[in-house]
Amino acid sequence: MGMNEFETLKTLLGRDRSIRRFRQQPVATATLLDLVELTRLCASGANRQPLVYALANEPHLLDAVFPALKWAGYYKDWDGPSESERPAAYIVQALDTDITKNPLCDDGIQLQAITLGAAALGLGGCIIKSFNAQTIREVFAMPDNIVPLYVLALGFPAETSLLVPQRDRADIFYYRDGEDRQCVPKRPLSDIIFSVNFEHGL
Protein backbone atom coordinates (compact mmCIF):
# COMPACT_ATOMS: atom_id res chain seq x y z
CA MET A 1 0.00 0.00 0.00
CA GLY A 2 1.91 3.05 -1.22
CA MET A 3 1.16 6.75 -1.41
CA ASN A 4 -0.54 6.29 -4.76
CA GLU A 5 -3.24 4.13 -3.30
CA PHE A 6 -3.73 6.58 -0.45
CA GLU A 7 -4.11 9.45 -2.91
CA THR A 8 -6.52 7.37 -4.99
CA LEU A 9 -8.62 6.65 -1.92
CA LYS A 10 -8.61 10.31 -0.93
CA THR A 11 -9.66 11.35 -4.44
CA LEU A 12 -12.49 8.83 -4.38
CA LEU A 13 -13.67 10.03 -0.98
CA GLY A 14 -13.53 13.60 -2.24
CA ARG A 15 -15.69 12.63 -5.20
CA ASP A 16 -18.05 10.54 -3.06
CA ARG A 17 -20.59 13.32 -2.56
CA SER A 18 -24.32 12.93 -2.10
CA ILE A 19 -25.90 13.12 -5.54
CA ARG A 20 -29.66 13.61 -5.81
CA ARG A 21 -30.21 14.24 -9.54
CA PHE A 22 -29.45 11.52 -12.06
CA ARG A 23 -29.22 10.86 -15.75
CA GLN A 24 -31.85 8.49 -17.11
CA GLN A 25 -29.32 5.78 -17.84
CA PRO A 26 -29.83 2.27 -16.40
CA VAL A 27 -27.57 0.71 -13.78
CA ALA A 28 -27.07 -3.01 -14.49
CA THR A 29 -28.01 -5.66 -11.94
CA ALA A 30 -24.43 -6.97 -12.21
CA THR A 31 -23.16 -3.56 -11.09
CA LEU A 32 -25.45 -3.57 -8.05
CA LEU A 33 -24.22 -7.05 -7.17
CA ASP A 34 -20.59 -5.91 -7.55
CA LEU A 35 -21.30 -3.08 -5.09
CA VAL A 36 -22.96 -5.35 -2.53
CA GLU A 37 -20.06 -7.78 -2.92
CA LEU A 38 -17.82 -5.05 -1.45
CA THR A 39 -19.75 -5.22 1.83
CA ARG A 40 -18.69 -8.84 2.30
CA LEU A 41 -15.10 -7.60 2.67
CA CYS A 42 -15.86 -5.18 5.51
CA ALA A 43 -15.22 -5.36 9.22
CA SER A 44 -18.23 -6.50 11.24
CA GLY A 45 -18.92 -6.29 14.99
CA ALA A 46 -18.27 -9.78 16.42
CA ASN A 47 -18.21 -10.77 12.73
CA ARG A 48 -21.98 -11.37 12.98
CA GLN A 49 -22.64 -9.91 9.50
CA PRO A 50 -26.32 -9.16 10.13
CA LEU A 51 -26.91 -6.88 7.13
CA VAL A 52 -28.76 -7.93 3.98
CA TYR A 53 -29.67 -6.09 0.80
CA ALA A 54 -32.59 -5.62 -1.56
CA LEU A 55 -31.87 -4.32 -5.05
CA ALA A 56 -34.05 -2.39 -7.46
CA ASN A 57 -33.38 -1.25 -11.01
CA GLU A 58 -36.57 -2.14 -12.88
CA PRO A 59 -39.07 0.61 -13.68
CA HIS A 60 -41.95 -0.81 -11.62
CA LEU A 61 -39.75 -1.15 -8.53
CA LEU A 62 -38.15 2.27 -9.04
CA ASP A 63 -41.63 3.80 -9.24
CA ALA A 64 -42.68 1.98 -6.07
CA VAL A 65 -39.64 3.03 -4.00
CA PHE A 66 -39.39 6.68 -5.01
CA PRO A 67 -42.52 7.98 -3.18
CA ALA A 68 -41.14 6.56 0.09
CA LEU A 69 -38.08 8.83 0.09
CA LYS A 70 -37.43 12.27 1.59
CA TRP A 71 -34.77 14.37 -0.11
CA ALA A 72 -32.42 17.12 1.01
CA GLY A 73 -34.09 18.51 4.12
CA TYR A 74 -32.07 21.75 3.78
CA TYR A 75 -33.57 22.56 0.37
CA LYS A 76 -36.83 24.11 1.43
CA ASP A 77 -37.95 24.87 -2.13
CA TRP A 78 -36.91 21.56 -3.69
CA ASP A 79 -38.90 18.37 -3.11
CA GLY A 80 -36.49 15.96 -4.71
CA PRO A 81 -35.55 14.94 -8.23
CA SER A 82 -38.06 15.56 -11.01
CA GLU A 83 -39.30 12.63 -13.06
CA SER A 84 -36.42 13.04 -15.54
CA GLU A 85 -33.79 13.13 -12.78
CA ARG A 86 -34.80 10.21 -10.61
CA PRO A 87 -32.40 7.48 -9.43
CA ALA A 88 -31.79 4.58 -11.80
CA ALA A 89 -31.35 2.07 -8.99
CA TYR A 90 -31.71 1.52 -5.26
CA ILE A 91 -29.83 -0.62 -2.80
CA VAL A 92 -31.80 -1.08 0.41
CA GLN A 93 -29.74 -2.06 3.43
CA ALA A 94 -31.66 -4.07 6.03
CA LEU A 95 -30.92 -5.67 9.38
CA ASP A 96 -31.73 -9.33 9.99
CA THR A 97 -32.89 -9.12 13.58
CA ASP A 98 -32.76 -12.91 13.86
CA ILE A 99 -28.97 -12.45 13.85
CA THR A 100 -28.76 -9.38 16.10
CA LYS A 101 -30.80 -6.34 16.98
CA ASN A 102 -27.70 -4.13 17.10
CA PRO A 103 -25.58 -3.75 13.96
CA LEU A 104 -23.08 -1.56 15.89
CA CYS A 105 -21.48 0.44 13.05
CA ASP A 106 -21.61 -2.27 10.38
CA ASP A 107 -24.29 -0.26 8.58
CA GLY A 108 -22.12 2.83 8.09
CA ILE A 109 -19.00 0.86 7.19
CA GLN A 110 -20.89 -1.05 4.52
CA LEU A 111 -22.65 2.02 3.13
CA GLN A 112 -19.28 3.71 2.77
CA ALA A 113 -17.88 0.69 0.93
CA ILE A 114 -20.80 0.80 -1.49
CA THR A 115 -20.65 4.55 -2.11
CA LEU A 116 -16.87 4.42 -2.63
CA GLY A 117 -17.32 1.59 -5.09
CA ALA A 118 -20.04 3.58 -6.83
CA ALA A 119 -17.76 6.64 -7.03
CA ALA A 120 -15.02 4.45 -8.52
CA LEU A 121 -17.49 3.33 -11.22
CA GLY A 122 -18.56 6.88 -12.05
CA LEU A 123 -21.89 6.48 -10.31
CA GLY A 124 -23.34 8.88 -7.79
CA GLY A 125 -25.65 8.19 -4.91
CA CYS A 126 -27.36 9.41 -1.80
CA ILE A 127 -27.66 7.62 1.53
CA ILE A 128 -31.26 8.10 2.68
CA LYS A 129 -32.38 7.58 6.26
CA SER A 130 -35.57 9.54 5.95
CA PHE A 131 -37.95 7.09 4.29
CA ASN A 132 -41.28 5.42 4.83
CA ALA A 133 -40.25 2.03 6.21
CA GLN A 134 -43.68 0.50 5.74
CA THR A 135 -43.65 1.24 2.02
CA ILE A 136 -40.15 -0.22 1.64
CA ARG A 137 -41.15 -3.35 3.58
CA GLU A 138 -44.15 -3.86 1.33
CA VAL A 139 -42.33 -3.20 -1.95
CA PHE A 140 -39.69 -5.83 -1.15
CA ALA A 141 -42.01 -8.19 0.78
CA MET A 142 -39.70 -8.10 3.81
CA PRO A 143 -40.54 -10.60 6.54
CA ASP A 144 -40.81 -9.37 10.14
CA ASN A 145 -37.18 -10.10 10.98
CA ILE A 146 -35.86 -7.95 8.13
CA VAL A 147 -35.78 -4.27 9.09
CA PRO A 148 -34.80 -1.69 6.48
CA LEU A 149 -32.08 0.65 7.77
CA TYR A 150 -31.09 2.76 4.76
CA VAL A 151 -32.05 3.31 1.16
CA LEU A 152 -29.14 4.12 -1.13
CA ALA A 153 -30.28 5.92 -4.28
CA LEU A 154 -27.94 5.40 -7.23
CA GLY A 155 -27.38 6.47 -10.79
CA PHE A 156 -25.16 8.35 -13.17
CA PRO A 157 -24.91 11.91 -11.84
CA ALA A 158 -26.77 14.76 -13.49
CA GLU A 159 -25.42 17.28 -10.98
CA THR A 160 -22.08 18.39 -9.60
CA SER A 161 -21.33 18.51 -5.92
CA LEU A 162 -18.14 19.88 -4.42
CA LEU A 163 -16.62 20.42 -1.03
CA VAL A 164 -16.15 23.93 0.32
CA PRO A 165 -14.41 25.01 3.55
CA GLN A 166 -16.71 25.48 6.51
CA ARG A 167 -16.82 29.16 7.47
CA ASP A 168 -17.80 28.58 11.08
CA ARG A 169 -19.25 25.84 13.27
CA ALA A 170 -22.81 26.71 12.29
CA ASP A 171 -22.02 26.40 8.57
CA ILE A 172 -23.41 22.92 7.94
CA PHE A 173 -25.94 23.72 5.22
CA TYR A 174 -25.25 22.48 1.73
CA TYR A 175 -26.47 24.86 -0.96
CA ARG A 176 -26.59 25.29 -4.73
CA ASP A 177 -24.39 28.04 -6.14
CA GLY A 178 -25.06 30.32 -9.13
CA GLU A 179 -24.04 27.53 -11.49
CA ASP A 180 -26.41 25.03 -9.88
CA ARG A 181 -23.52 23.15 -8.31
CA GLN A 182 -24.10 21.73 -4.88
CA CYS A 183 -21.59 23.01 -2.32
CA VAL A 184 -21.00 21.01 0.86
CA PRO A 185 -19.16 22.68 3.77
CA LYS A 186 -16.73 20.42 5.62
CA ARG A 187 -14.82 21.19 8.81
CA PRO A 188 -11.06 21.74 8.57
CA LEU A 189 -8.66 19.18 9.98
CA SER A 190 -7.54 21.57 12.73
CA ASP A 191 -11.13 21.63 13.99
CA ILE A 192 -11.59 17.90 14.28
CA ILE A 193 -8.32 17.10 16.03
CA PHE A 194 -9.36 17.21 19.64
CA SER A 195 -5.99 16.30 21.03
CA VAL A 196 -2.64 15.63 19.43
CA ASN A 197 0.81 14.65 20.58
CA PHE A 198 2.52 17.97 19.91
CA GLU A 199 5.95 16.49 20.47
CA HIS A 200 5.93 15.57 16.81
CA GLY A 201 4.07 18.67 15.63
CA LEU A 202 1.15 18.76 13.23
Ligand X SMILES: Cc1cc2nc3c(=O)[nH]c(=O)nc-3n(C[C@H](O)[C@H](O)[C@H](O)COP(=O)(O)O)c2cc1C
126 is a contact residue toward ligand X (CB under 6 A): yes
Residue 170, Cα to own-chain centre: how many angstroms? 23
45, with CB counted inside 10 A (0-12, 13-18, 19+), is middle
Asked whether 110 and 85 are in contact (CB, 8 A), the reply is no
Counting contacts by CB under 6 A, is residue 129 touching ligand X?
A: yes
Q: Which is nearer to ligand X, 29 or 102 (CB)?
A: 102
Contact flag: residue 139 with ligand X (CB under 6 A): no
**Which stretch in 17-25, 32-40, 42-50, 132-140 sits in contact with ligand X by CB under 6 A?**
17-25
Instruction: Return the bridge partners of 163, or none.
Output: 184
Site size for ligand X, by CB under 6 A? Answer: 14
Map the footprint of ligand X across residues 174-193, applying CB under 6 A: 174, 184
Distance in Å, CB of 128 to ligand X, minimum: 4
Q: Which region, judged by CB under 6 A, interacts with ligand X, from 25-33, 70-78, 97-105, 140-148?
A: 70-78
**156 counts as binding ligand X under rule CB under 6 A:** no
Shortest approach of ligand X to residue 30 CB, angstroms? 26
Give the binding range for ligand X (CB under 6 A) out of 16-24, 41-49, 91-99, 139-147.
Answer: 16-24
Nearer to ligand X, 74 or 198 (CB): 74
Is residue 128 part of the contact set for ligand X (CB under 6 A)?
yes
How many Cα atoms occupy the beta-carbon half-sphere of 137 within 13 Å?
12
Least distance CB 114 / ligand X (angstroms)? 12
User: Which CA distances in Å does 175 have to 23, 67, 117?
Assistant: 21, 23, 25
Give the nearest distance from C-beta 18 to ligand X in angstroms.
3
Q: Which of 8, 24, 130, 145 binds ligand X (CB under 6 A)?
A: 130
Q: Is the CB of residue 50 less than 8 Å from the CB of residue 96?
A: yes
Residue ranges in contact with ligand X by CB under 6 A? 17-18, 20, 70-72, 126-130, 161, 174, 184
